[in-house]
Amino acid sequence: MATREIPFRDRRIETAPRAVIEWMQLDGLRRQIDNALKTEYYRPKLLAAGITSSDDIKTLDDIRRVPFTTKGDLREAYPFGLLAVPKSDVVRVHASSGTTGTPTVIYLTQRDLDLASDTMARSLTAAGGNKNDIIQNMMTYGLFTGGLGFHYGAELMGAMVIPTSSGNTLRQLKFMKDFGTTMVHATPSYLLHLHAAIEAEGYRRDDLKLRMAITGAEPHSEELRRKIEEKLGIEVYNCYGMSEMNGPGVAFECVFRAGMHAWEDRYIVEILDPETFEPVPEGEIGELVLTILCRDAMPLLRYRTRDLTRFIPGPCACGRTHRRLARFTGRTDDMLIINGVNVFPSQIEEVLLKTKGVGANYFIIAEKSGDLDKLTVQVEITPEMFADDARVINALRDRLKSEMSALITINPVMEIKQPGSLPVSEGKAKRVDDRRPKD
């Protein structure tokens, strides 16, 4: 590795002294505060916290006076409560993967979009990507940022981008072979699935030019990374991001693959104790809280990601001064990530509760089916429904299936159970069993 040239998109910023990064952060925070004061949603909250203009923010430590923002706030502010520019300046809208009744939506101006693409291009360059790469993006295109957010950054870097989107593995393989794809972007589980298909279809290693994969959207271990690398004979890079923060590339591994550099000129990164909201001691695990500095259309101040991670202490061999985040170890809420799609048990409950014939109890099982995730929803039906014939019960199952897929964008297996057969929902009933191995 030492002999390998270390690639940069913007060496000056990526290796800036900490004092310079912190100066950029303070300047950015002050701009975001003025911006937030223009929005319907933040204005009363900031005034209540005694912040009337950016003049109230004198040092980076003053961020501790700024109230937190949650996913719930985004939903409450839907559709335009967090907009800080005239609607006519917005050129793009994105939303979180999976949906609930009210999606969490972000807006970008052309400048915001250019900066988001630049952040992504910087990330890909740090990982060793370049304009000669042929990149197949296997993440879903649409509102989810893993598609378009990644795409624009890869194009900006100058690579040839093939927007195959997710699924249709045989077609993915054909494109990989015919175009000589050198890099793919996919979830870790899909990469394993892809490998199984490569073997099943009889492709030889020489048929493919693949050299690296960018992976993210769901937690995965170092062991799983190594397994994918060995199976596919490539290098795998971890990429963290979320739609609320413009998508993938908030933090990214450099060629040393020893933690993800969080781009601190574009985000203020805090790791806090989720109970006390005090910063955890350096190197300890806490909740990641992010403030975006590179977006005019929609400020998000101290956004509680619910994702758990820690800072990796010490400098990185690449020379970058932006701090590194360790692999994510989980979340502080009950959100499940099924094949890269966020699913909240409460969304499933919402569908069940409003459907006639569904009883009081349900149970959700997440498990592996081959290399992919499988979600099963077991649901009791009412005694009246149970007395009906099989056709009525099948119709109920079909209806639940289609309503689930409309609301959570994935298709769970629906199992209809007889009344009284599932754990009772009193007190702290355990309604979710995540049986997937933690590796």
Contact 25, 33 (CB under 8 A): no
Burial class (CB in 10 A: 0-12, 13-18, 19+), 228: buried
Task: For ligand AMP, give the closer residue by CB, 35 or 145.
Answer: 145
Q: Which two tokens stand for residue 325?
A: 């985040």
- Shortest distance, CB of residue 96 to Zn ion, whole angstroms? 28
Of 42-50, 193-201, 214-222, 394-402, the segment contacting ligand AMP by CB under 6 A is 214-222
Contact 246, 145 (CB under 8 A): yes
Of 63-71, 127-135, 215-223, 378-386, the segment contacting ligand AMP by CB under 6 A is 215-223
Q: Does 260 bind Zn ion (CB under 5 A)?
A: no
Of 158-166, 176-184, 232-240, 279-287, the segment contacting ligand AMP by CB under 6 A is 232-240
Residue at 129: amino acid letter: G
- Shortest distance, CB of residue 260 to ligand AMP, whole angstroms? 7
User: From CA 137, how far away is CA 159, in angstroms rounded?
Assistant: 12
Using CA atoms, how far residue 381 sits from 163, 271, 341, in Å, is 43, 44, 27
Using CA atoms in the order 413, 354, 361, 437, what is the torsion angle rounded to 10 degrees? Answer: 40
Q: Which two tokens stand for residue 49?
A: 């916290």
Q: Does 373 bind ligand AMP (CB under 6 A)?
A: no
Of residues 238-257, which lie at the interface with Zn ion (CB under 5 A)?
A: 254, 256
Task: For ligand AMP, give the closer residue by CB, 16 or 239.
Answer: 239
Of 85-93, 140-148, 298-306, 308-316, the segment contacting Zn ion by CB under 5 A is 308-316
Of residues 90-129, which lie at the interface with ligand AMP (CB under 6 A)?
A: 96-97
Q: Does 316 bind Zn ion (CB under 5 A)?
A: yes
- Which of 316, 329, 412, 400 has the alpha carbon at shortest distance from 366? 412
Residues in the chain, total: 439
Residue 305 binding: pick among Zn ion, ligand AMP, none (C-beta 5-8 Å cut-off by kind):
ligand AMP
Residue 182 binding: pick among Zn ion, ligand AMP, none (C-beta 5-8 Å cut-off by kind):
none
Secondary structure (3-state) at 360: strand
Residue 289 binding: pick among ligand AMP, Zn ion, none (C-beta 5-8 Å cut-off by kind):
none
Secondary structure letter of residue 141 according to DSSP: P
Concatenated DSSP letters of 317-331: TT---SPEEPPP-EE
Q: Does 145 bind ligand AMP (CB under 6 A)?
A: yes
Binding site for ligand AMP (CB under 6 A): 96-97, 144-145, 216-219, 238-243, 305, 307, 328, 331, 337, 342
List interacting residues with Zn ion (CB under 5 A). 254, 256, 316, 318, 320
